[in-house]
Amino acid sequence: MNRALNPGSAPALLGRRKLLGLGLGAGAAMALAACGGSSTAAPGGHSAGAGVLKWGWALPTSWDPVFSSAGWDVHALSLVYAGLTKLDPHGAAVPALASGWTYDSAGTRVTFTLRPNLTFSDGTALDAAAVKKSLDRGRTDPKSLVAPQLTSVKAISAPAANTVVIDLTHPDYQIPNLLAGKTGMIVNPAEFGANAASLAARPAGAGPFTLTSYTQNEKAVLRRNPGYWDAASVKLGGFELYPLPDASTVVAALQSGQYNVAQIPGSQVAAAQAAGLEVQVIPSMVVATLDVDSARAPFTDPRVVQALKFAIDREALLKTEAFGHGEVTYQPFPKGYAGYDPGSDGLFAYDPAKAKALLAQAGHAGGLDITLTTSAAAGVPEQIQAQLKQVGINAKIEVIPQAQFTQIIYIQHSRQVAVDQFAGRDSAVQAFQVLFGQQGLMNPGRATPPELTAALDKVTRTPLDSPDYPTVLQAATATAVRTMPNVFLYTVPRILARAKGVSPLPETTVVQRFEGVTVA
């Protein structure tokens, strides 16, 4: 995320990570001023006469999209922020705050036209000048976590109140997709001056809801924003967001009404259905992975990296840990996505004999010791440990607190191998940058082979609507999975159980959306 796909991501049931409390004391309750225009509010800050969706999912690492550090944060942040674009159910960029956009003939300038009369949730104008300031903050703040995705942006201008022009250093046709996620969420400039630190707990956006209260690690309460550009599609009066429920209690919590929608693991699907709950298994961009540091011995030897890939029985992991929900994979994109490379299917199929031979070639015929870092010792880490032992790799499991996982794994890059999940991204190139780029959060070795850099450059220069785009993107995927140390295991669908009074949820692959959803 970081499960730094989204964007389409689910909060990790495997190695779930949180970095909460930015700018807050533990357990601090933040009472937020109600904003977003006039509306009749019922007790608790929700609009009168409309249903409230109570979602057991995850609270964000930060309510500031520029400093949010987990990929699945995009789901929560999309409740309070909007971008120039958003993604349709298939992952393609469509208009949002912008009614449309055009590229010049060279592909180095993209012009967005804003919808008329846009406002932030506090009622202030959201014009081109505000968009420019927000996007410039994301690409220039020294501590920005979205800046690496905006390196192709040379300058942003606002020649008219409804016109935003983005000039690029080179042709980059990924910009509309890129701006559909955290990278493009528009933050009210009035709040990121003297009040910048408060954005961690007090978002200032133009999304479908407005945060009215927030208790760290416990609960976020939101109400419908009548000034949202697509307010007519938002049927819910309010929203309550909670941390991911414990797997052993989630069904009971749904039955009791503590939640009316919740993420559940595959192990609880049968129990949820038996309890009379509706269950949706929504394909997502999330993939279970191992982050491998190729700059740390013994993984400095490519043969040891390959041995690791062949030593893992992905089918067994999927059956035991995910109860068969998902598919074995050897690459970062699921089947059906433009970047999925058929030629990489089965590339590192389970072959313990080959793993042993590679280890012997690398001088480890007698075995070797590694440390497997995780934030949850039980389940997948233990099964991987057992599988590796069969080929002579003795893996010591190191458990670190969830709240420290982001800092240690993504910022410090101080571990050999980490059990992780990649949450996907709105833009394919952004996904590659997170996984394989020299500054990628999930590339602890900080090395990218030149052939992969060249393949990605070709992707950015290919228009999304070009008939050549899928072929070019798949070629980049093929290069990445053959040259990079990341170990992909299986896809992780978004499994949501809901009370019968909640209408079906939109089945969007990247970001879970709630347009049209009602609660009886």
pTM (two decimals) = 0.81
CA distance 177 to 473: 14
- Closest among 276, 264, 275, 257 to 520, alpha carbons compared: 257
Give me the DSSP letters along 106-128: TSSEEEEEEPTT-B-TTS-B--H
Q: Computed over its alpha carbons, how large is the radius of gyration of the chain?
A: 22
For domain 287-491, give its CATH number from 3.10.105.10, 3.40.50.720, 3.20.20.80, 3.30.43.10: 3.10.105.10
Q: Which pair of structure tokens corresponds to residue 206?
A: 């133009």
Cis bond upstream, residue 467 (ω within 30): no
Task: Tell the residue number behind the tokens 């490519």, with chain if given.
Answer: 302
Query: Number of helices (H) and strands (E), helices first, in the chain?
Result: 13, 19
Predicted local distance difference test score (pLDDT) of residue 24: 33
Q: Where do the domains of the chain lie? A: 85-189, 287-491
Predicted local distance difference test score (pLDDT) of residue 325: 94
- Measured torsion, CA atoms of residues 21, 25, 29, 30, in degrees rounded to the nearest 10: -70
- Closest among 237, 218, 320, 274 to 497, alpha carbons compared: 274
Side chain identity at residue 305, one-letter code: V
Q: Is there a common fold for 85-189 and 287-491?
A: no
Side chain identity at residue 444, one-letter code: P
Predicted local distance difference test score (pLDDT) of residue 39: 35
CA distance 160 to 230: 23
CA distance 494 to 500: 18
CA 341, chain centre distance (Å) = 21
Q: Which CATH superfamily is domain 85-189 in?
A: Dipeptide-binding Protein; Domain 1 (3.90.76.10)
Give me the DSSP letters along 287-349: EEEEEE-TTSTTTTSHHHHHHHHHT--HHHHHHHHSTT-S-B-SSSS-TTSTT--GGGTTTT-
CA distance 282 to 512: 9
Q: How many Cα atoms occupy the beta-carbon half-sphere of 347 within 13 Å?
A: 21
Task: Count CB-CB contacts under 10 A for residue 33.
Answer: 9
Low-confidence ranges of the chain (pLDDT < 70): 1-49, 377
CA distance 388 to 380: 12
Helix axes 428-436, 450-460, angle to 10 degrees: 160
